[in-house]
Chain A
């Protein structure tokens, strides 16, 4: 059962062939069997999940109208607040915090009857691209346990690719859904900025953060997307418009007559050979399905990485100021006579990891008077230029495409001491965040040199998320025919698995 897609599981539930309790238990068993090696989860809420499953089964038995994915288990990135369930954002500074409220995403999942099995590992406060910056140790890539699953939503991606969960939720500030999806051979979508409520999503960089779905197929991902998206009055930046028809698009999957733009700046030099090969092949597949492939020029993308690494740290330096030991979370140094300032300082020193401190310091500097214009101000101008580049490109093409990441999954520890090398891995995903548009990564096959998954990225204009699914579904179907079996069937068996 756990090897099926979420859509198939939903079908089985609807037909009464299985129950949510059975399905949830099967996944909890899988977690028990393999998560000791993968370490996708920080917290497994066994009792809560089974209670939720039981409730959905009861509602189904009563004949209540349920959402299409009611009863399906899910893994939740630990960046989203869930009432009464430990929520840490991967940071020691929040160890032991039990939120007294649900994030809007969690409320929506609960009311849709989606079973939340637990909280997944992540780079601390979503700052990182390998999940190695977690305060609780790394997550391992199910394709090769010596490698990272990418990040920052590495736990969620690994949970889905190791069949510990059919669906998962991540957040994407600079590629944190799409890059781990690429590195673990699954589908991940970063919806349009403002499409999914950020209320209860622990902020890294408010103007870039966006939660989104993971699945093993384009349709599964669309089913989750539809449930989690929608306007929320509790988030001022939430878009007040209907959710794009992503499920319908995922079911149609037709690219005939579509114009697909290849971004000149996001390929070639710096991209692993096997990555480029699978990308080029996918383009040919799309062309063979009747799409028109055009090349588009986005000259400002050259500065995207620099702009991102000024804007995101600037916002985080302010967003993370609230972790001060006064009201919740870790408190250290509270010895006789210590001032509030001393306790704040000691706690932040002990609770934050190196990368978080690095970005807080960077951002504090970038916002300082006298430097603001040169750093934060310039970065905002680049952001405007990137938005203009996209506008011009979308005038020529319905969707834009690129490899999701320049390389396949790298070894744990390989880039940990070289932040610049790590940051370069985000070069193809970051422009989407800066422009506030939407993007998808889906598997394009395995790189010849290392047999590891390669991600194909699709980008669409704001609130045109359905185009991602339409294009992705077409490519997915054609590739499946070509390969004969889903890509995950080629992943090595995990020890301990039945």
Chain B
């Protein structure tokens, strides 16, 4: 049988989602020791007796991590447990030094919350409420690098290398309740949920939320049931979903794969699957038929987490504006068209534009710079926009220089180029490069006369009233003055020179 199309799938089957998101917190030190957490250090340089699980070493909870987790819980409308405990999840694996992971089991720190997400549909915007089951703390494992073999997988490898720098990095796991009722929108809702989570976490400043570096990771659970049925189908859990687009693709792909099996009267296996970025398909991982027994029990090395109600309220008071509300506010305040708003969100420049506006720049101008020229440079350099040397303060200054007439748009683009190249602030670049608008009418007239003499034929056309031909002359004058002239003034003088009304 051929693979069913997506439309065929949703005509017959109703998807049920469940999403588990792992977030690496951006604390300075690890969850249970004082080792640095910075990404990309030389292997095993960010380790100590505690995170290497040397005999006798003991964990101590990082308070900042608890604070971050409570903030996340509050931002996701969760209840915060006045008493919760860490538990040990026992299983042997070489990248886990203690051979147990400190996690939370039946006593998570945050529970029962929700996130509202909105997606665009052909019938207009549609809202979905994603209920949160729990938010809990745990520690990350180290990394294994399997050397030899064709696939980089452990199977067929000659040997494996272990890097424990990541072992013990604080992780927060955010688990949804089952999400029914999304129907054909399931993949988009999942993507919107992860995007909303990412924005919330970024707003809280608790994580770098870089999916490509693994600081935000999503496991997507999907099952299908016949439309109208109350009985849940068997789910698969897809790991390794490392971008928003992949979340959507993975769910769509799994829905199609499940439907194909079910249409054939076959069963879906309950298993872990790995998303393949290149094909958009998943491959089978560990089978979960024989559920592993993790022998969870409360970690006797740690004391219960008992945040004071007053502290929780203090943290609640510091919560930033919810991203969805903020977007709505910004859209209205700046009067941004839908398309432009979407462009800013997609390009991930909302924060940076807002920062620029807060420094006094006109919202439209600020948006145009970031979304236009600066985004273009970032794309060209294949760098995230935030990694460029240009800052909101630079752009605000630039906008002001243009407004004052000190720069033309064209000159301003040269200034941006200079700022990005690390030549300093816009004023410094202007000074260093000697960029300035030519306002000297005499100099401009000399250039105009020269150009009209060189292109006498074109000049005659203009003199005869054919104004579109003026463009070529203006361009030549601009070239003559190395772009430093104000094009509007050049046009005025040129048309005057050729006896045309201005």
Give the interface of A toward B (CB within 8 A).
80-81, 87, 89, 94, 97, 99-101, 103, 198-203, 205-207, 233-237, 314-315, 317-318, 321-324, 326-328, 340-341, 344, 364, 367-369, 372, 376
Contact = CB atoms under 8 A, between A and B. Distances in A.
B53 interface: yes
Interface of B: 49, 52-61, 88, 90, 92, 94, 97-100, 160, 162, 293, 295-297, 300-303
B162 A326 contact: yes
Contacts of A236: 58-61, 301-303
Nearest to B91: A321
A368 B303 CA distance: 23
Contact of A234 (B58, B100, B162, B295): B58
Given A367-B90, A369-B293, A199 B56 contact: yes
A207 B88 CA distance: 14
B160 A340 contact: yes
Contacts of B57: 101, 199-200
- Among B59, B94, B100, chain A packs the most CB atoms within 10 A around the CB of B94
Contacts of A87: 55
A44 B297 CA distance: 39
B96 to A, nearest CB: 9
Given A80-B56, A81-B56, A369-B293, A321 B300 contact: no
Contacts of B99: 321-322, 324
Contacts of A340: 94, 160
B156 to A, nearest CB: 11
B300 A207 contact: yes
Nearest to A327: B52
Nearest to B291: A369
A463 to B, nearest CB: 16
A344 B99 CA distance: 11
A280 B92 CA distance: 52
Nearest to B59: A236
Contact of B301 (A103, A237, A344, A372): A237
Given A318-B90, A327-B52, A344-B94, 5 more contacts: A100-B49, A101-B57, A199-B56, A326-B97, A340-B160
B49 A206 contact: no
B300 to A, nearest CB: 4
A449 B94 CA distance: 55
Contacts of B98: 321-322
B58 to A, nearest CB: 5
29 contacts: A80-B56, A81-B55, A87-B55, A89-B55, A101-B57, A198-B301, A200-B57, A202-B55, A203-B55, A206-B301, A207-B300, A235-B58, A237-B301, A315-B300, A317-B295, A318-B88, A318-B90, A318-B100, A321-B92, A322-B99, A323-B55, A324-B99, A326-B162, A327-B52, A364-B295, A367-B296, A368-B293, A372-B295, A372-B297
Nearest to B297: A367
Nearest to B44: A327
Given A322-B99, A327-B97, A200 B56 contact: yes
B90 A324 contact: no
Contacts of A369: 293, 295
Contact of B55 (A97, A314, A315, A364): A97
A340 to B, nearest CB: 5
Q: Which 7 A-B pairs have the closest CB atoms?
A: A321-B99, A206-B300, A367-B295, A207-B300, A200-B56, A322-B53, A202-B55
Contact of A324 (B52, B59, B94, B297): B94
Given A234-B60, A236-B302, A367-B90, A99 B55 contact: yes
A88 B392 CA distance: 59
A241 B247 CA distance: 51
Nearest to B50: A234
B54 A101 contact: yes
Contacts of B59: 236
A318 B297 contact: yes
- Among A198, A201, A318, chain B packs the most CB atoms within 10 A around the CB of A318
Contacts of B295: 317-318, 364, 367-369, 372
Contacts of B300: 205-207, 237, 315
B100 A321 contact: yes
Contacts of A81: 54-56
- Among A199, A236, A324, A341, chain B packs the most CB atoms within 10 A around the CB of A236
Contacts of A317: 90, 295
Contacts of B92: 321, 324, 341, 344
A383 to B, nearest CB: 12
Contacts of B55: 81, 87, 89, 94, 97, 99, 202-203, 322-323, 328
Given A321-B98, A321-B99, A237 B303 contact: yes
Nearest to B144: A340
Contacts of B56: 80-81, 99, 103, 199-203
A369 B292 CA distance: 10
A369 B160 CA distance: 32
Contacts of B303: 236-237
A141 B331 CA distance: 84
B291 to A, nearest CB: 8
Contacts of A326: 94, 97, 162
Nearest to A321: B99
A291 to B, nearest CB: 36
Contacts of B97: 322, 326-327
B297 A376 contact: yes
- Among A80, A101, A235, A322, chain B packs the most CB atoms within 10 A around the CB of A322
A344 B49 CA distance: 20
A234 B90 CA distance: 23
B161 to A, nearest CB: 12
Nearest to A206: B300
Contacts of A206: 300-301
Contacts of A327: 52-54, 97
A15 to B, nearest CB: 38
